[in-house]
Every structure is written in C-alpha cells, then in structure tokens.
Amino acid sequence: MASDSDEGKERLIEDVRPSLRKRIVVERVLDQLHTIEDDQKEQIRQKARSAGDFEAANHLISAVLRKPHAPGWFQAFVDALIHSGCEYAADFIQPDNPVDPTVEAENDYCVKLIQILYPSLVDMKTEVVNLQCFAKELITQDDFEKIKTITANDGNRGGARELLRSIVRGRPGWFSQFLEILRVTEHKDLYELTGGSSDCDKTVGKLPSLKDEPMESEAAAGSQDSPKFMVISSTNEPPEEQDLYQGVSAKSRQLPDSVEPSTSDPVEVTGGPEKDDIVLRDYQMNVAGPALEGENIIICLPTGSGKTRVAVYITKKHLDHRRKEGCSGKVIILVNKVPLVEQHFNAEFQPFLKHTYKVERVSGDSQLKISFTEIVKNNDVIVCTAQILENYLERANTGEDEGVDLSDLTLIVIDECHHTQKGGVYNHIMMRYLKQKHKNIRLKKEQKKTKPLPQILGLTASPGVGGATKMAKAEDHILRICANLDASKIMTTDLGQFKREPRKSIQTVEDRKEDPFGDVIKNIMNAIHTHAELNPTFDLGSQSYEQWVVQKERIAATEENPKVRVCAEHLKQYSEGLNLCNTIRMRDALNFLTEYQEEEKKKKKSPDAELVIKTTETEQFLFDLFEGKKEGLKQLSEKPEFENDSLSKLRNKVLHEFTSREKARGIIFTKTRRSAIALSQWIQENPKFADVGVKAYHVIGAGDQSVVKPMTSAEQRDVLTKFRDGEVNLLIATTVAEEGLDIAACNFVIRYGLVTNEIAMIQARGRGRAEDSSYTLVDVKNSGVAEKECVNEYRITMMNKAIDKIRTLKQEDYDRKIFEFQMQAIMEGRMRMKKKQQQQMQTEKGEVKFSCRSCSKHVCTGEDIQMVDVHRVNVSLEFRKLFIKRENTTLQERHCDSETETNEYIACKDCGQRWGSMMLYRGIDCPSLHVKNFVVTFNGKKKTKCTSWSDLKMRFPDFNYSEYAGQLGECSDEDD
C-alpha cells in the first residue's frame, strides 16, 4: 500500500508531466535509472527511436509511477534526471523549491521564439557555436559529442537542429547566453534576428553583383481600371486549440467590435455636405478601398501622387460612418517633423473637414496652452507630432498624470510610416499597439473582455530596403515594417497617365589643375604631423583620414597625451577645411578655420585679470602656424580661377533653370548646415543670380547637435511660407526639408554633393512637383555621390522587386512571417527593457531592497551586499541585529580544510524565516544570503522572478577582507 508521502510525490509528477515530457532525454535518463525493469526500458527505448523523446518520455513517466514502488524510487528518479543532464526537468519535482510559473512562462516564450526562427538558425556555423555552448555549459558532454557526430555525418544543418533541441532543455537563462554566443561567433544576422542590438556593429553593405541578383523586368503597367496592388489578408482563424505562437489570423488584425465599420454604405454622411467635396482619382480610390472597410493598411504611392488627400478622404468616411452608427470617432494624424503639422493642417485636413468636424493641430511649437488630453477629448481630428502622442500614452501607462490611451482613438494615420522601425517614436507607439493586440488574442481565448484598438493607416513613398544587399533581406525589411504597422495589406498601384518622373542628370566634376589653397592647408597639416610625430597613411581630407584622426585623439585622451590630443583636434578642423574648399568657396573655408582659431585663443583668456590660463608649447606652435599662413590663404581665396569645379557646375545649373523656365522655383539639398548657409550667402552676393531673378534663402535643422546655430521652428516655418508664396524661389536646405515638403510649384531639385539612402533619394527628387521637373546630382570631390546614386538606383529596383515578391506570397505564409516579426519585436522590446532595468539597478543599488519573505520586514539594500567567491554576504552591523543563528542539522561534519565553511544557517529574528547560511571565511563569520528567501523590490516595484541570484543580474563588489578585519580588530581593542 502506498504511503501518503508516495501519493503526494505521484501527484506532483502528474501535475508537471507536460513540462517533464518536453525536457527529458529518454535514453540518458534510462541509463541512470535502476528502478525500472530491463524489458520495460527496452520498450521505452524503442518508443524513443520510433516516435521521439516527447512520446517516449510519457511512457517513462508512467513506468516510474507504476506501483508498487521500490524504496527510494522518487529520489532515484530525481537523481537520474540530474545525472543525465536534465537538471531543469528535475527542478520541476523539487517539492521544497518548485519552479516559479512566471519563470517557466518566460522560458517557454524563449523556446517558442527559437522555434519560430528555426529555419534561419539552422544556417549557423554549428561547430563553432557547439564549442561555445559547451564551454558555457549550455549543453552536456554527451550533447556536445552527439552534435559533433551528427554534423560530421549529416552536415551543418543537421548538427544545428540537434544543438537547438539541446539548448532549449536548459535551465532559464540559456537564451541570453545563446544570444551572446551568436554575437561573439560573428553571426551578426542571427544575433539581430533573435533580438540582439545592431547599434554596436554597423557596417556599410557592399553592392552585390548583378549576377548574384538577376533583375526582373518591372510588372507591366495596367490601366487605371485594373491597377496593381497587393492584398495581404487572411480569412481563416487558427483553430481554438492552437497555441498563440503557432499562427496568426487577419481577424486579430481587424478593428474591435466598437471600431469596425459595418457593411453598410460608408459614403452616406450624417450632418450635411462639405463646402468642397473630396474627389479622388481612380488609382487613389483603388488604394483607399480596404481602409474604407476598416482594415489596417499601408498606402505606398510615389511622392506627389496624393497620399495625404487619400488619408483625408479615409478620415472623413471613417468619421461619417461612426457618426451614422451613433458612435464618436477620434482620428490622430501623426507626423515626424514640426513643419509638417502646419502643412497637413492648413493644406489638407482643415479645409476639407472643418465644416463638419472639429480639427486641431498640436506640436511643440503650438500656442495652445491646454493639455493634449483635453484637445483629444474636444476635437474629432488632431494633427500632431508623434512624440506628443507617445508622451501622453506614457503618462496614461504610468498613471502619473492624465494621459491618452490607444483605446480613446479610432483611427491613427502615420505619415512617412517607413520610419516605424527600431528606436523610432512611431515604433514606440506601435509596440504599445502590438502588445495590446496580442494580449487581446489571449483574453478572447479566455472569454474575457478585450480592449478596443484603433485602425491603422500608414503612408509612404518608399519603404526602402534597410541597407539590404540581397533580395531576401529586402523582403524581410518591408515585411518587418508591415508587421510593425500591423498591416493586412500594402496598397500600391500604377498611376497611369498621372505618373510623373523628373528628368534626371548627373554633373560630374574634374579635379583642379591647381589647388594652391588646398596645398597650403596640407602643408600646415604635415607640419603638425611632424610636431606630434604622427604618420598618416591616408589621403589628407579623405573620410579614412578623418576616422584616423578621431581615433588618434581618443587614444591620446585616454593615455593623457595632451600634445597628440590637441594636435589631433586641430588636424580634424583642417581636414574639414579641405572638404569645405571642395564644396563651397575658399573664403568660406578660411572663415571656418579662422573662427576655430579665434575660439581656441579665447579659451586661453580669462575674464578675471588675476587668473592666468597657461598656453602650452604645442598650443602656441599651432596658433603661430596658422597665423603665419593666414595672409597667404586670404590672398589665394580671392582668386576665382582656383575655385572648385563643383561650384561652377552648380552655378551653371541654377542659371540654366532660371533662364529656361518662365517661373523657376527649386531646392538645393546639401550635406551640412555650414554649407547651406555658405551657399545661400554665395548666391545672394553674386550679381549674376540676381540678374535672372534668383531670391535665395536657407533652411536648416532645429536641433542643437551641430556647432552651427540651429533655426527655430518659427524661423523654419517663415522661410517655408515665403518659398511656398514665391517670395523665396530658391531654397538651400539640409535634409530637414527632404521629407513631406509639398510645394506644388517646385520644378527643379539639385542634390549638391549629397547622397544618403534610397528613401532619401526618392523623397528628395519628389520635391519637384510641377510638370517638366528636373532632378540633378552635382558631384563633389571625395564625396563619391555618383557611385552612391547608382547604388540607390539598384536598391530602388530591388525594393520594387521585393514588393512584387511579397505580393505573390501565399496568405498563410504572409501571416506567419508577419506574426514572427511581431513576436520578435515584442521580445526585443522586453529584452531592451530588461537590460535597461539591469543597468539602472546597477547604478541605483540603494533602491534595490530586500524584505523577509515571511513577515515582510525590511532587511537590507543592494548597497549592503558584497561577494565572497560565488556567495552574496552582508557583514554590516545593522544586519547582524536582525537575525538569529541556528545549527544546520543537515551537515554531519565540519570540513575544516575548506576556505569557506558552513555549519549554521541564519533566520529572521521576528518570524523564523530562513534567510541563508553562516559562512566562516578566513576566521570571519559572514552571513550568506539566499535570495529566494526574500521579496526583492526596485523603486517600489516587486521583482516577480528571484529564485536565484542570476535572476537579479546585479554585480556586487568583492568583500574587502583586510578592511573588515581591521574594523573588527578596532572593536576588539575597545572591548578590551
């Protein structure tokens, strides 16, 4: 007859049977288990060979539970699991320390992510990863040998499959270690795919050969009546019993019941007609269709094709329908730049909607003094910068102040939605959306109330390829944007007769036959090299040279070498001066260098006459060197025959545009704020430009990252208004004006020595909105813009091919990929938050507080804890007053030869809760804490998973033996 103790152990095993089945390696456990008859073992082994470990483990557990039990049967099973490398399985049947369900759930989440990414992970370099996993004890010796054998016999992918099966059986914590192994073994793509950050190791991709990626002809253009657009939706919901991680349905991407429009005609309007009806072209109506039915979509149309007008139409129909149904609607239009708030409000949403709905705009520049929450409550349509919405979503999340919740909104329009990627504010907003969406799926299965979410409408002219050099990566990039926006479709179409492409030309430049100005600067730089004993191997002024100088400056600062450090600082400025004289006038380059020298000299002059700031010998050498060459540079800068060829090409192009057009209006994009200002001055001071009616001004960014004084948002708006009205007809701009600026009369665009990526290229040339527009690229020495432009053209072709390939995906394949990317994004967000909290805990140890698990008494903080080998000890006098010592009866002997001995445990003086053990370390009693016996809080919030110190991820200082022993000695002397 089974004892009560046996019955309790049987129930425990039955309760965790599903968890055990996933983590038992049957063959190895059978080798260690001697309470099962040999014939039963053989049957179980045959089951493992025919059906796998998961099925065989079920038979093994049943055999263990079969009565009558041999003496010690339970402990024999536990020992067999531990000795066979299935420690985590053994953890599940430890009655005194059961596995925390939250820990198990998170571990299962990591396993599911590995399963999702399995097709990509099997391409790893198995031998290298296998060795690292074994070294980090993620796998056993048996696993290691088995993976080696499979790799040798079945190839790399076969070994990788076995490796992945092995690591997921480990104790929690294996995922972060595996992630680190992928990073150190140079699996950059897999590291990022599984959640690692790409910020630390960005490289510029090499343009692949056309042989590697054969070009396909573009899809034939259809008529307006039969446009091409991709429809990516699903009508099949996964079976109810299917796990959340095994499928995704389009229904989960649809609006909740309170938001989804009905099938009735959405065109009917309650509340009277608009002053001006919104009339869409056929291609615009085609791309708007799914959004009018309540679906989340991305509209991808070229610049100037009326995406914003489509968004206004969808907004109006959305609000009309909700009003007809007796529900209120709330629409927010998000933009990423302040000037676009005014543009969208004044040019599109306000004119068409003001007679029927309340429309308002908000940005950091707004004069409205009431809270954003009140503006949302009191208006139907709000145009705002994305950061404002994110700030108020966070307020609602933290409960610190009245904020805005996603459930308050019924439609979000995201302008330039290709920015919905890692780190961007758009992505922060959509991550909140995706988390709630997947929570809603779980709540729905549990038949609980879900939270309504708004419809999403994304607008873009180009999703780009994300720096991809291969088609598969380009597809993944676009699919990731679709996933981030929860888009069931990406709508694109042929514009037919409305398609406009600007005339494109590239102006190449020739090297100067003579460059005496640049030669003088190079002579100065070489003199500095000699003085600082530096030997550069790169061309002066090149990008490689600039990187070399920056590296030298950092090393010198670290090594406290002021001579090399200050020389490197000056070399960096001279290198910039060389680049400037290749881009703008020599006099502008000289002014830049003169201003720098004057600022450096000012640092050596104190406003206090009694205080003397020392000028070092090297600094004086550098000042004298420039002063000796300054006059010669000035004389050379006044000789136009020595100016760079790029300026000549730019002058000729601008003059041609203004003499060949009846009303010319254009934009010159340039790389830096300094060059934008200098080019504006050059044009304003040149009478040839004035003679043909050029009225030029510059517009630069409002951020303060540059040494050049920024423009305020009001100044930007003033210049853009003058450009729109024709008071300014030539705008010299940095990339701040590339996206979204909508000037219908703009008829030429020039990119002057500036090429970034394919998205910026599409955006820049799209600023030319008028008929017969032109787009010109003017090369600048050392810029490589002509070559980069070719790369961007290639990437645009690749992007279009990738979109076409995505359109051909089967619906279930698209749904699976979208789901994978969404789950990956959520996991990445969790990992980032976890790392951020760990870093915060490390710097704020005093806010990490430990309380008795039984009576909740405050015990200590993270600042009180130190390390003795692998033990966390608290030797403070205050802590010693809080516990009592008891004999550890489980230790029969005291091993005096051990450096750290334990023969007592410590317990709470108030309630008797065990806290840890008393160690004798080199003659000193050191209370060692076991974190599982405490409730841990950080900034007042409980940490739910603290069963071992590894869960806390904090580094504590080593125990200072000599200091503490000295303190004890002083106390002893006082007692004597």
SS3 labels along 59-76: HHHHHHHCCCCCCCHHHH
pLDDT value at 502 more than 70: no
Residue 736 Cα distances to 337, 339, 630, 666, 668, angstroms:
8, 10, 34, 15, 12
DSSP H helices, 665-784, are 673-685, 687-691, 713-725, 758-765
Contact 799, 479 (CB under 8 A): no
**Structure pTM?**
0.55
237, pLDDT greater than 50: no
CA angle at 737 for the pair 736 and 740, rounded to the nearest 5°: 115
Residue 575, pLDDT above cutoff 60: yes
Note the pLDDT of residue 738: 61
Closest C-alpha to 302, from 95, 494, 79:
494
How would residue 857 be classed by pLDDT, with cut points 50, 70 and 90?
very high
pLDDT tens for residues 439-497? 998 898 888 999 999 999 999 888 888 877 888 888 888 999 999 999 988 888 776 55
- Please, which pLDDT band fits residue 206 given cuts at 50, 70 and 90? very low
pLDDT at 272: 36
Mean pLDDT of 500-522: 79
DSSP bridge partners of 386:
none
Residue 458 sits at φ, ψ, to 5 deg, of -100, 140
Sign (positive or negative) of CA dihedral 524, 528, 531, 533:
negative
Identify the band that residue 901 occupies on the pLDDT scale cut at 50, 70 and 90: low
Residue 825 pLDDT class (50, 70, 90 cuts): confident
pLDDT for 295-306, tens place per residue?
A: 999 998 887 778
Most confident of 104-108, 167-171, 807-811, 857-861: 857-861
Asked whether residue 201 carries a pLDDT value surpassing 90, the answer given is no
Tell me the C-alpha to C-alpha distance, in Å, between residue 812 and each of 235, 245, 247, 440.
Answer: 10, 14, 9, 21
In one-letter notation, the amino acid at residue 780 is V
The pLDDT value given to residue 316: 93
The conformational region for residue 746 under phi > 0 = left, psi -120 to 50 = alpha, else beta, is beta
Residues 596-610: pLDDT tens digits? 888 888 887 766 655
- Indicate the pLDDT class of residue 233, thresholds 50, 70 and 90: very low
- Lowest mean pLDDT: which of 124-133, 193-202, 348-357, 910-919? 193-202
Judged by DSSP in three states, 684 sits in helix
For 656, the enclosing helix (H) or strand (E) is helix 645-660
Quick one: tokens of 273? 């007609």
Going by C-alpha positions, the residue among 326, 324, 331, 313 that lies closest to residue 274 is 313
Residue 56 CA to residue 47 CA, distance in Å, equals 5
Tens-digit pLDDT profile for residues 619-657: 999 999 999 999 999 999 888 888 888 888 888 889 988
Token pair 């060692």 is found at 928
Average pLDDT over residues 56-79: 88
State the pairing for strand pair 774-778/848-852: unpaired
pLDDT for res 866: 92
User: Does 308 or 974 have the greater pLDDT score?
Assistant: 308
Kindly tell me if the per-residue pLDDT of 311 is higher than 90: yes
Residue 228 is predicted with a pLDDT of 34
Q: Are residues 253 and 296 in contact, defined by beta-carbon separation less than 8 angstroms?
A: yes
Question: Given pLDDT bands bounded at 50, 70 and 90, which one contains residue 196?
Answer: low
